[in-house]
Amino acid sequence: MNTPSSLPKTERLHSLTALRRLFAEGTSGFVYPFRYMTFTESCDQPSVEVVFSVPKRYHKRAVRRNLLRRRTKEAYRLSKQVVVEHAKKEGIAIDVALIYSSKEPLPYKTIANAVRKILAQIVEGR
């Protein structure tokens, strides 16, 4: 059983066609240290799916990429309820890509604040 603050596979964006559609037709924005892409569509089954990325270009070591990805996932997991409720209320499916764009690793608190701002902007429709 999934709790509201879990992040099961059903909430992770892994379909190749959905990823292509997100990057081809989605809208983008930037909140330091993330570049984000969103794609929304009306559907019968409202959902929010997310993908996390830390480019190898800036962080060569896998240990550092994994650390930043874990921090981002945790920040999203704890603050996702806002966007999930918005999707249910509006009856839409939202796909989100969070791409870590900073060249240095930042503390969890900075990452969590940025993820909260991004989710608030998604709900506002920007």
Tell me the C-alpha to C-alpha distance, in Å, between residue 28 and each of 2, 10, 25, 55, 86.
30, 23, 10, 17, 19
Q: Is a pLDDT exceeding 60 seen at residue 1?
A: no
Q: CB within 8 A of 41, min separation 6: which ones?
A: 92, 93
Q: What is the pLDDT of residues 67-102, one digit of tens each?
A: 999 999 999 999 999 999 999 999 999 999 999 999
pLDDT of residue 126: 65
Q: What is the pLDDT of residues 9-30, one digit of tens each?
A: 989 999 999 999 999 999 999 9
pLDDT of residue 7: 87
Assigned CATH topology for domain 10-124: Ribosomal Protein S5; domain 2 (3.30.230)
Q: What is the pLDDT of residues 29-53, one digit of tens each?
A: 999 999 999 999 999 999 999 999 9
Q: Is a pLDDT exceeding 80 seen at residue 3?
A: no
Q: Is a pLDDT exceeding 90 seen at residue 2?
A: no
Check: pTM over 0.75? Answer yes or no: yes
For the chain, what are the domain ranges? 10-124
Tell me the C-alpha to C-alpha distance, in Å, between residue 43 and each of 53, 76, 87, 120, 125.
26, 23, 10, 21, 17
Strands of the 92-100 sheet, one edge to the other: 27-31, 34-42, 92-100, 47-53
6 pLDDT band (50/70/90 cuts)? confident
Q: Is a pLDDT exceeding 90 seen at residue 5?
A: no
